[in-house]
Structure 1
Amino acid sequence: MYNPVKWKFSIVLLIIGLMLAIQYNTVKNPEERDTRDIWAIRQELTMEKQLNSELLSEIRELDKTIHTYDSLEDGNTEKALTETVDKLYKQAGMTDLKGTGFVMEVRPSEESIALGIPISGITPDLLNKFVNDLNRFKGISLEIDGKRFTTLSSIRDINGITTVNGLNVSTPPFKMKVITQSLEDGEKLYNYLLASPIHDDFYLENFNLDIHKPNSTMEIRGWGDKFENRYLKELPKGE
């Protein structure tokens, strides 16, 4: 016999059961959360603050350049433009540099040589990680295996070979050179690299990273390629 009370009761129980199943599934499979510890988050925050500081410094420098142009007389404009071009060439790594710095050498580890492990080239991931470690310090200039590394440079894998600016990086041993803004900065970077865990990353790939002591006579070469001007043309005087 049809009993509406039982049907209503059954429907209520069905709804309750459905709600409990949904709640259980939500607890069982929570949304993905950020599981990094507080130190990893602080490190990322520090890097973001450093990037923000560098961008603000660049903006201030550009504002300073604009103000210089606005305050110049016509006779000094050419000189100011020449100085700006020279500065940009230095920032782009087009010129040779001399200053305080030190040499770093990547070579096969003694264990890999003793065990007869084939020597392979350094991977782009390891080289990129090393460069990022160096970039914690501002105002450095870097040369990797005779190739100038700047903000315009790239580290890539081309046909299984690690390249810098499209040029092959030698199979270790090879040298890297870094120039800092001062002897004090060179000492700080030198001590930082001596204690850096980056050595473990090199060792895991059967390499040793040797850091030589800073000296004041370091020299690195400029970027070999030159910028080609295809569109800008100089106007005749008076126009």
Structure 2
Amino acid sequence: MKRRTQWLLSAVFLLIGFMVAVQFQTTSHETEMRDTRDVWEVREDLKTQQEHQQDLLEKIAGADQTIENYEKQSSREQVETLKGSIETLEKKIGLQKKKGAGVELTIRPIFDEGAGGQEYPSVSPHLVSRLFNELNTYGAEDISIGNERLTNLSPVRDVNGATYVNNRPIGSLPLTIKVLAEDPEKLQDHMKASPTQDIFNIDNMEIVFEVKEQLVLPKYDDPLHLEILEEAGG
């Protein structure tokens, strides 16, 4: 029992460290990407960094509370607490399916293939990344595109002219993107007013939004190389 508890405790700390590292990596990357900014952009960026910092502090406080609770419990209670912590952390980083209210986006061509001499459109990695960034800015909590769950480590790239997410092609139009949010209607309103819609229109695409009470997002399937979790559960 003691050895099993040690594995579980190690797994929790590993997951917490992974989340903090990913958050730090994302924050650093966003800061490096901007070279020229006006005063308003600097203020917005500062606000974003402060929010990231607050989020990290809350994660650290949560980890401290877990340790404190763990030390006060019996061996059986310790195991149950740690299992619950692992499950919560897995949900946060996308290792489990997630349900909730949100907005479903459908990206589809404005004109049918061949109509008016228009070439059938496809979504570039740049457009996908821009869309994801705006969704996150306006309150998205979890995102999936097709059958791919998005995480802070999900690569969006071009492979021989096709857009890949999580090292798999997203496919052709129409594309479905599911977004969980605390306030889906507010997120939808922000996105409808966003210039991203106009940018998609230029490339013969439109985004249709629909608020839904229940959406189911798939889990992130790619390995995270956290072998310790398998040993903890064995």
Which bracket does the TM-score occupy, shorter chain normalised?
Answer: 0.7 to 0.9
**Structure 2 CA distance for aligned equivalents of residues 137 and 60 of structure 1:** 26
Distance change >3 Å, CA 220–CA 35, structure 1 → 2? closer
**Structure 2 CA distance for aligned equivalents of residues 60 and 119 of structure 1:** 51
Q: Percent identity?
A: 28
Amino acid at match of 1:223: Y
Which of 185, 191, 194 is the aligned partner of 2:192? 194
- 1:203 matched residue in structure 2: 201
3-state SS of the aligned residue for 1:178?
strand
Structure-2-length-normalised TM-score: 0.74
Deviation string 1:185-217 (CA, Å, 9 cap, x unpaired) is 1121111111111112212322111111x2212
Structure with more helix by fraction:
2
> Displacement of 1:224 after TM fit?
3.1
- Correspondence 1:124 to 2:125: yes
3-state SS of the aligned residue for 2:137?
coil
Deviation string 1:14-50 (CA, Å, 9 cap, x unpaired) is xxxxxxxxxxxxxxxxxxxx86432222222222222
**Structure 2 CA distance for aligned equivalents of residues 65 and 109 of structure 1:** 51
**Structure 2 CA distance for aligned equivalents of residues 69 and 145 of structure 1:** 39
- 1:223 matched residue in structure 2: 220
**Structure 2 CA distance for aligned equivalents of residues 37 and 221 of structure 1:** 39
Is the CA contact 1:105–1:210 (under 8 Å) kept in the aligned structure 2?
yes
Is the CA contact 2:144–2:178 (under 8 Å) kept in the aligned structure 1?
yes
Distance change >3 Å, CA 35–CA 176, structure 1 → 2? closer
Q: How many residues align?
A: 199
3-state SS of the aligned residue for 2:171?
coil
What pairs up with 1:32-51 in 2 under 5 angstroms? 36-51=37-52
3-state SS of the aligned residue for 1:104?
strand
3-state SS of the aligned residue for 2:117?
coil
**Structure 2 CA distance for aligned equivalents of residues 230 and 60 of structure 1:** 26
Deviation string 1:150-206 (CA, Å, 9 cap, x unpaired) is 22322122222211111101122111011123xxx1121111111111112212322
Amino acid at match of 1:196: S
- Correspondence 1:167 to 2:181: no
What pairs up with 1:62-77 in 2 under 5 angstroms? 62-77=63-78
> Displacement of 1:138 after TM fit?
4.7
Distance change >3 Å, CA 53–CA 116, structure 1 → 2? farther
Amino acid at match of 1:188: K
3-state SS of the aligned residue for 1:140?
strand
Is the CA contact 2:95–2:221 (under 8 Å) kept in the aligned structure 1?
yes
> Displacement of 1:112 after TM fit?
8.0
Gap regions ≥5 residues in structure 2:
1-34
3-state SS of the aligned residue for 1:110?
coil
The structure with the largest alpha-carbon Rg is 1
Structure-1-length-normalised TM-score: 0.73
3-state SS of the aligned residue for 1:135?
helix
Amino acid at match of 1:224: D
- 1:12 matched residue in structure 2: none
**Structure 2 CA distance for aligned equivalents of residues 227 and 55 of structure 1:** 21
